Structure 1
Amino acid sequence: MSVSNPTLITFVIYIAAMVLIGFMAYRSTNNLSDYILGGRSLGSVVTALSAGASDMSGWLLMGLPGAIYMSGLSESWIAIGLIVGAYLNWLFVAGRLRVQTEHNGDALTLPDYFSSRFEDNSGLLRIISAVVILVFFTIYCASGIVAGARLFESTFGMSYETALWAGAAATIAYTFVGGFLAVSWTDTVQATLMIFALILTPVIVLIATGGLDTTFAAIELQDAGNFDMLKGTTFIGIISLMGWGLGYFGQPHILARFMAADSVKSIANARRISMTWMILCLVGTCAVGFFGIAYFSAHPDVAGPVAENHERVFIELAKILFNPWIAGVLLSAILAAVMSTLSCQLLVCSSALTEDFYKTFLRKGASQLELVWVGRAMVLLVAVVAILIASNPENRVLGLVSYAWAGFGAAFGPVVLISVLWKGMTRDGALAGILVGAITVVVWKHFSIWGLYEIIPGFILGALAIYFVSKAGSPSKGMVSRFEAADEAFKAGH
């Protein structure tokens, strides 16, 4: 496909704006806390939208509409599971984690929080959790780079190798320069762009297919089963899709947003904004795939690219139905979804390497300026490794997203959730929870037992391990008093 100028110009303007935001954030980055958590200064709107954008990667505009286009509404169970999981995460974890991290050594990262919360002087808890973050997130980053490369490849006819670097370069640039503030501010812009695309596109598709009645009739004519939420599903299949919601409790890039909120008072408002944004985006993305069935059955002459790869349904509808300038903005929304998630993941990996290895084990007395620059160097290091993993065009890295999501959800989810709700949890309980959760995911995935998504047994067994191992010991008085002080602060500010 030849380079269409309006689309190319829109992309260039969009990327330049993101890098400019990075340089603006650079001026507000004076120490490691600023670089990793933005100095805990995010208001409710930025907290809400950056949490949403960092969560919703390229699958929101490519994978999910494609699945609905192929199979109908039976694929929407995953959206329901995600909405329930995200809401419970905001309700039970967000505010409590914000105050617990502050009361436990003003922790900047999850390993830092675990180490302080459970008085782990051995460093074992910090090392194991930092290693889990680095392994799963480097794979996760690679999948984001692949998604970005596919977008550039299909939109501008680039070779895969060129597209790989073009897609990753801008994200690396603003994350490198501006750190957490750049990532959060750009996420807010990207979340706005994503919701604009996902509200506008289904409305225009609906108009193009002749309104709601005509569209539904065309979808029914294609296959009446498209309306059946239970078509081709099994009980285990539905539970597995809904199980994605469990992952939220353990995703470091989402939990970092809670830790960075300016106060616990901002959380309730942020929850309302974030959930409204998320529900509108997920309804919009399902509508794009669903209404696309009617559009392409009525216009088989332009259905070729979608028949070849159903994940292109949003891209093709944007290119066919909109003026090239508007199409450029809509396609930038896919880039926004990819960049917003990738930037958060790069930053979490960088903070794990800087705060949890370099500062803790190599240079305890390092200056703040030195730590910020080490953090920047680590962003480049992780990005290069992720690009190398993604560089094989045959690599099925995108399939590993569900694996990484399950890994974090099962290894960290029960530990985070129980640590903010139960004062009786111990260090050994936390260690057992992380190890049992992570090992269960790996073993379950390898043997594909019952076809059940590995996050569900991983989460359940991890939670049981925490409970029984913690019951076998007891927390120190210091751990209990810090927990109670944080809990009081949460209730006072809630």
Structure 2
Amino acid sequence: MNWSNPTLITFVVYIAAMLLIGFAAYRATKNFDDYILGGRSLGSFVTALSAGASDMSGWLLMGLPGAIFVAGLSESWIAIGLIAGAWLNWLFVAGRLRVHTEHNNNALTLPDYFTHRFEDTSRMLRIFSALVILVFFTIYCASGVVAGARLFESTFGMSYDTALWVGALATIVYVFIGGFLAVSWTDTVQATMMIFALLLTPVFVILAIGDYDAAMTTIQANVPAAFDMFNGLTFVAIISLLAWGLGYFGQPHILVRFMAADSVKSIPAARRIGMAWMILCLGGSVAAGFFGIAYFADNPAVAGPVRENGERVFLELTRLLFNPWVAGVILSGVLAAVMSTLSCQLLVCSSALTEDFYKAFLRKGASQKELVWVGRGMVLLIAIIAIAIASNPESKVLGLVSYAWAGFGAAFGPVVLFSLLWKDMTRNGALAGMVVGAVTVIVWKNFIGLGLYEIIPGFILGSIAIVLFSKIGASATASMKQRFDAAEKEYQDAHL
């Protein structure tokens, strides 16, 4: 490996900076609350950018530009759906979840919140929701490890096995040391790098072609269908792409950012910052893929890698158009996207194992220091399992990632929404909604299909189950309603 390679030097400096942030967060982590939720101390800016960075992952810089490059603007429906879903999530869930988790025994995790919100003495909600998190997120983590390995492999010519460990260790170390604060602070840096990469690249692509008009003319001449938003899509396909937005209501790694805000009053500003960041990033991602069509039509001699794999379009444009030092910074943005999502998924898994199994069932009286170290141990355990899955990049398990988003969206989305908006919801309703949502996604994906994204039937049937089982079983207790009213009043007072 050439250690004088500017791109490699930039990567090393970037990873070193992330580790330094991890050590700074270590010094600020005094107890388990700090390790899992940062002591609920995040301001608007960090809340917004860490939520965005943890959401978007390598898909934003590899998957989406690749899809646009291959199929044109018809693939941008998913971006429209995500923007709508994220905005509604900030509007209806963010502030309320921040307040309700505090009113329900200062819950640190979603399973903890469900348990106290519905006074679940059977612990079924805690066990089932923690299992959903562990199963789906371990697979999610494996996909992040693979994406990081692919980046190191293609950028530095490493073997896949070496790249796997280098990419994974960079993330694991700062999560292990610094916990939630490290993840949130590094996500903020990573979100800044991602938006820099995504706004700069399309501009340079257009300049390399000549100007905007020349780029549009080239696309029109070579791939006229790229302009057609409806190209090759049925009504069901469009609805399915838009429905990705429904997933936001149930993603634990995004919801936990709302829970960690320093105050419910920080949420409106965080929403504006977060949505502006997201719209600019998605716009830049679509533009990179779209104008990449024109660039590689004009330069067929260098188009081999992207013809072979469309998801390389952003990486190739960066490599071809920028000075190696600048390319290093931009490619670090790709690494940032992968690391930011992987890190928060590792932490959510760790918190589920530590708070919802170890503390709840094994060591109720565990000290704060003990819980922090168990949490760190769980980060390593999940990471090792994820690396083992990722060690075979062709593993069929990684195909499950395509509906892990739907699984979370359908299992948790309706439960989170109803728990924050309907005080008569009961434990039986919550459990039924979770089970029906999760099972519907799996059954629909594997046995029914019909071209409809499985989150839609999962979300609808999960919502129906919540209402039905809340109505026919035992009613919500007076104390449940009292806590709900107190939390809702605090939320409304903060927004007057």
- Asked whether the two chains share a fold, i.e. TM above 0.5, the reply is yes
What's the offset of the Cα at 1:399?
Answer: 3.5
**CA shift digits 1:317-351 (9 cap, x unpaired):** 00000000000001011100000000000000000
Query: Do the aligned partners of 1:37 and 1:259 also contact (CA within 8 Å) in 2?
Result: yes
Shift of 1:493: 1.0
The verdict on how the C-alpha distance between 1:145 and 1:448 changes in structure 2, with shifts beyond 3 A counting, is farther
Query: Are 1:30 and 2:30 an aligned pair?
Result: yes
Q: Is the 8 A contact 2:50 2:185 kept in 1?
A: yes
**Could you tell me the TM-score, scaled by structure 1's length?**
0.99
Distance 1:346 1:301, change over 3 A: same
Partner of 2:488: 487
CA distance in 1, matches of 2:229, 2:118: 45
Q: Distance in 1 between matches of 2:380 and 2:270?
A: 31
Identify the residue that residue 166 of structure 2 maps to in structure 1.
Answer: 166
Q: Distance in 2 between matches of 1:396 and 1:115?
A: 34
Cα RMSD of the aligned pairs, angstroms, is 1.0
Change beyond 3 A, Cα 1:456–1:388: same
Cα distance in 2, alignment partners of residues 384 and 119 from structure 1: 35
**Aligned pairs for 1:9-408 within 5 A:** 9-396=9-396, 398-408=398-408
The offset of 1:373, in angstroms, is 0.2
**1:388-436 superposed Cα distances (whole Å, 9 cap, x missing partner):** 0110132255543221101000000000011000001000000000000
The residue aligned with 1:449 is: 449
Q: CA deviation at 1:183?
A: 0.1
Distance 2:57 2:417 in 1: 24
Going from structure 1 to structure 2, the CA distance change for 1:369 and 1:390 (only over 3 Å counts) comes to same
SS at match of 2:28: coil
User: For residues 215 and 2 of structure 1, do their structure 2 counterparts lie closer, same or farther at Cα, with a shift above 3 Å needed?
Assistant: farther
In 1, the alpha carbon distance for the partners of 2:417 and 2:387 equals: 33
Whole-Å Cα distance in 2 between the matches of residues 335 and 399 of structure 1? 22
* 2:409 aligned partner: 409
| Partner residue, 1:478 | 479
User: Is the CA contact 2:441–2:457 (under 8 Å) kept in the aligned structure 1?
Assistant: yes
C-alpha separation in 2, matches of 1:485 and 1:284: 42
- More moved, 387-396 vs 264-273: 387-396
8 Å CA contact retained: 1:3, 1:155: no
How much has 1:167 moved relative to structure 2? 0.5
Contact 1:145 1:387 in 2 (8 A): yes
Instruction: Measure how far apart 1:449 and its partner are.
Output: 2.3
CA distance in 1, matches of 2:393, 2:476: 50
User: Is the contact between residue 99 and residue 490 of structure 1 (CA under 8 Å) also seen in structure 2?
Assistant: yes
C-alpha distance after superposition, 1:228-269 (max 9, x if no partner): 000000111111111100000000000000000000000000
Give deviations 1:285-326, integer Å, cap 9, x for gaps. 000000000000000011111111110000000000000000
Q: Which amino acid aligns with 1:54?
A: S
Q: Which runs of 4+ in 1 moved over 6 A?
A: 1-4
CA distance in 1, matches of 2:164, 2:241: 30
Distance in 2, matches of 1:465 and 1:136, equals: 22
Provide the residue aligned with 1:432 in structure 2.
432
Report if aligned partners of 1:11, 1:332 keep a CA contact under 8 Å in 2. yes
Number of matched residues?
494
Code of the residue aligned with 2:47 in structure 1: it is T
Task: Give me the whole-angstrom Cα distance separating, in 2, the residues matched to 1:177 and 1:466.
Answer: 40
- Could you state the TM-score of these two structures normalised by the residue count of structure 2? 0.99
CA distance in 2, matches of 1:393, 1:57: 18
Query: In structure 2, the residue corresponding to 1:412 is in which secondary structure?
Result: helix
Contact 2:3-2:9 at 8 Å conserved across structures: no
Q: 1:478 corresponds to which letter in structure 2?
A: S
Contact kept, 8 Å, 2:98 with 2:263, in 1: the verdict is yes
Instruction: Percent identity, please.
Output: 75
Over 3 Å counting, the alpha-carbon distance change for 1:428 and 1:148 in structure 2 is same
State the distance in 2 between where 1:29 and 1:381 align: 21
Query: In structure 2, what is the Cα distance between the partners aligned to 1:345 and 1:116?
Result: 23
- Partner amino acid for 2:354? T
Query: For the residues of structure 2 that align with 1:460 and 1:402, how far apart are their CA atoms?
Result: 19
> Residue 203 of structure 2 aligns to which amino acid in structure 1?
V
One-letter amino acid matched to 1:152:
F
Q: CA deviation at 1:471?
A: 1.2
Any idea what SS the aligned residue of 2:450 has?
A: helix
- Asked whether the equivalents of residues 143 and 397 of structure 1 are also in contact (C-alpha less than 8 Å), the reply is no
Q: What letter corresponds to residue 79 of structure 1 in structure 2? A: A
Tell me if the contact between 1:414 and 1:459 (Cα under 8 Å) persists in the aligned partners.
yes
